[in-house]
Amino acid sequence: MSVLFVSGIDTDIGKTYATGMIAKALMQQGIKVITQKLVQTGVAINLDNGDMNIADDIIIHRQLMNLPLQPCDLDFTTCPYRYEKPASPHLSAALAKDILNPNLITDATKALQADYEVVLLEGAGGLMVPITEQLLTLDYIADKGYPVILVTSGRLGSINHTLLSLQAIKARGLSVHSVIYNHIHDDSDNTDAEIAASTIEFLQHYLKQHYQDTYWLQLPIQDDLHQVAMSVPNTFIDKLK
């Protein structure tokens, strides 16, 4: 039974799409997989309709997996904490006058592990985002020993942010299961094609030098990710076991 933590070098880097696409790829290879969200902020709260309070990222995961919302989504096991303010979890929880208990997240993960072979646990923002006033995301996953899938991109600054993230993971004694390059930003106004190409080349070379056991994967370049498949090598799956 495996848990992989999906983090990113920054917010809005493509963690949600990477999580959903990996889950879809694993499903297609016969792996019983579910996704979970550590905590979701920026949720449109509607007290009269419980379905409206389901984490947005969980909904996207299921769409990418071509699945309806599952019972574990509807009872919020896949995302116990959801807050309206789109901010760091520690602030969103405080503004909601709530106390986020990390043990509740852990219990939810364990419940999912009882029914699934693989749990893909997506974080909120980057590794150093505070979950509570006392606990960073990296503190939490280091305590659990979860291997990390790190999502990056080719926008300016990605090399710096990626290497800092890799060093932070390594310093906590965690393994980097894979690095996923997200092409989504490559067509945006904020990404230079030469910088993106150089980023791919540099990061692939860096991983071969310093992280030989880490997989390099790329999100497909498509306008509609719902219609494409992301291939993962058999060794990627073997490493989950």
Residues with catalytic function: 37
Closest CA to 126 of 18, 222, 14: 14
Nearest to 120 by CA among 80, 77, 149, 91: 149
Q: Token match 């306008």: residue? A: 223
- DSSP count for the chain of H helices, then E strands: 9, 8
| Rounded alpha-carbon distances, angstroms, from residue 90 to 31, 34, 50 | 34, 26, 23
Find out whether 7 and 165 touch, Cβ atoms under 8 Å: yes
Annotate 148-192 with DSSP letters as a single string: EEEEEESSTTHHHHHHHHHHHHHHTT--EEEEEEEGGGGGSTT--
| Amino acid symbol at 75 | D
With tokens 């902020």, the residue in question is 41
Cβ count near 36 (within 10 Å): 29
Report how far residue 62's alpha carbon sits from residue 139's, in angstroms, rounded to the nearest whole number.
28
Pairing of strands 118-126, 2-8: parallel
Residue 208: other Cβ atoms inside 10 A: 11
